[in-house]
Amino acid sequence: MAIPVAASAQGGDALAGVMLNNLLHNGLINQSQFDQWRELPVDELKDQLVGSNIMNPEQVSQFTNRQQEILRNNTFPGGGQA
C-alpha cells in the first residue's frame, strides 16, 4: 500500500515525509519519532535512522531509492516521469 504524497510530513521534504509515513506504517518507528523527525531534510533523516539503529547505511540507501520511486509514481499522472 503506497502512502499518499499529501500525507507527507508538513513543512519538510516530500521524500522524507514519504519515508517517515512508510516507516511508521510498518512499525519501524513510533509516533514520537515521526513527530520529532518530520521536519528534517532527507540527509538528516538518514543520519537519524542509522544513528538510532533502525537501519544500516545500505538499508537506508535501498529504502530511499524505493521511496523515491513511490514518490515519482504518485507525483506524475499515469505513474510516468516528467
> Does the pTM exceed 0.75?
no
Position 80 in a domain: no
Q: pLDDT digit string (tens) for 58-76?
A: 999 998 898 888 778 876 5
Asked if 33 contacts 19 with a C-beta cutoff of 8 angstroms, the reply is no
Whether 2 is in a domain gets the answer no
Residue 6's pLDDT band (boundaries 50, 70, 90)? Answer: very low
Percent of the chain with pLDDT over 90: 46
How many independent structural domains does the chain possess?
1
Decide: 50 and 57 in contact? Cβ < 8 Å.
Answer: yes
Instruction: Report if residue 78 sits inside a domain.
Output: no
> What is the chain's mean pLDDT, rounded?
80
Q: What is the pLDDT of residues 36-65, one digit of tens each?
A: 999 999 899 999 999 999 999 999 999 889
Q: Is residue 23 part of a domain?
A: yes
* Structural domain of 25: 11-73
Q: How many helices, marked H, and strands, marked E, lie in the chain?
A: 4, 0
Distance CA 63, CA 67 (A): 6
